[in-house]
Amino acid sequence: MRRLPALGDAFAGDPGADRIVPPSGFTARLTQFTAAAMAFLAVFALALSLAAGRLADHWGEALARTATVRISAPEGQMATQTDAVLAVLATTPGIAGARLIPEDEQRALLAPWFGPDLPVESLPLPRLVEITETAEGMDAEALRLRLSGEAPGAVLDDHTRWRRPLVEAAGRLRLLGWLSIGLIGATMAAMIALSANAALAANARVIEVLRLVGARDTFIARAFVRRFTRRALEGAAIGTAAGMVAVAVLPGDGAGPGVLTGLGFRGLDWLLPLALPLIAAGVAFGATRLTAMRVLKGIT
């Protein structure tokens, strides 16, 4: 908690204390550029992470709540087995509803592959029953056993086999996004620490004079910390703004759950990148302060 007032000082500024360190145009631009570039990348990592999160939630929700029963029976038994399946489903705990998919809807599902004029009635297509589960969910294994007894041609597909890897992939993509943000922050901290180290080395004489006249380490460190924190804040603000504009103009309808078409911010998500400049300033504050205090300990 002792650091909070000092972080406030970094933004409040002190013109007198600021002037004790000579201006250094190169390191100033370098720090600002680093912060801007890192903030720009962080905006994309954040957008990716949020999009992957939405995808994982969407697929996970669908996985948890829907299943399909496919009935492949000889022509004479199709209606009987379909009725048997619907009857079993109607009495199975955990199932909120079961809907026999009509033939025209099946035709629509197949249309992208076979064209709109597909004579569904003349093909030996299986019948499909869409199941919607309750929040508690059903016992898939128990249902399979009952279906094998009542309708031997019915196969329960609870989507687990193909949906779960997708959900896991989306979850990992989300994790990767957050990991990228962490790495971007750590890289920025390292680069600012290097810049601060160079600035402290270049101003060794200034530091010696200040120690000579009775300046405490915190006073000297503050002069450097304030400067680097401000540069990081300014740079990160520019980078964040540029990143948000770039995300906003990305092509895509923004409505779908896909990573590519859904990459971006929705609603209040747009507020999240606004925290990046403050986080960058905090990172710069910590990195510079740690560097300065370490270097100052080596000077009497």
Partner 1 sequence: MIELEDVSHSYGGGELLSGISLKLEPGSFHFLTGPSGAGKSTLLKLCYAELTPSRGRVRLFGAELGGMDRDAVARTRRRIGVVHQDCQFLDHLPLSENISLPLLAAGRDVAAEAGNLKELMAWVGLEAQAGSLPPQLSGGERQRAALARAVIMAPDVILADEPTGNVDWEMSLRILQLLIELNRMGKAILVATHDLNLIRAAKAHVAARVLRIKGRQLLLAGADL
User: Interface with partner 1 by CB under 8 A: which residues?
Assistant: 16-17, 19-20, 22-23, 205-206, 208-217, 219, 297, 300
257 within 8 A of 54, measured Cβ to Cβ: yes
Q: Tell me how far apart the alpha carbons of residues 192 and 198 are, in angstroms, rounded to a whole number.
A: 10
**Which helix (DSSP H) or strand (DSSP E) does residue 279 occupy?**
helix 276-296
Reported in sequence order, the residue ranges of 4-81 that DSSP labels E, i.e. its strands, are 66-71
CB of 296 to partner 1, least distance (A): 8
CB of 299 to partner 1, least distance (A): 10
Reported in sequence order, the residue ranges of the chain that DSSP labels E, i.e. its strands, are 66-71, 95-100, 127-133, 154-157
The nearer residue to partner 1, 212 or 255, going by C-beta atoms, is 212
3-state secondary structure of 129: strand
CB of 291 to partner 1, least distance (A): 17
Q: Provide CB contacts within 8 A for 109, sequence distance 6+.
A: 101
CB of 16 to partner 1, least distance (A): 5
Q: Following DSSP, what letter does each residue of 207-218 receive, concatenated?
A: HHHHHHTT--HH
CB of 230 to partner 1, least distance (A): 19
Q: Tell me how far apart the alpha carbons of residues 255 and 265 are, in angstroms, rounded to a whole number.
A: 11
The nearer residue to partner 1, 88 or 215, going by C-beta atoms, is 215
200 within 8 A of 10, measured Cβ to Cβ: no
CB of 238 to partner 1, least distance (A): 28
The nearer residue to partner 1, 172 or 294, going by C-beta atoms, is 294
The nearer residue to partner 1, 61 or 208, going by C-beta atoms, is 208
DSSP conformational letter for 155: E
The nearer residue to partner 1, 22 or 165, going by C-beta atoms, is 22
60 within 8 A of 167, measured Cβ to Cβ: yes
The nearer residue to partner 1, 70 or 211, going by C-beta atoms, is 211
The nearer residue to partner 1, 58 or 211, going by C-beta atoms, is 211
CB of 4 to partner 1, least distance (A): 19
Q: Tell me how far apart the alpha carbons of residues 143 and 137 are, in angstroms, rounded to a whole number.
A: 12
The nearer residue to partner 1, 161 or 205, going by C-beta atoms, is 205
CB of 10 to partner 1, least distance (A): 17
**Helix H segments across 151-203?**
160-202
DSSP β-bridge partners for residue 261: none
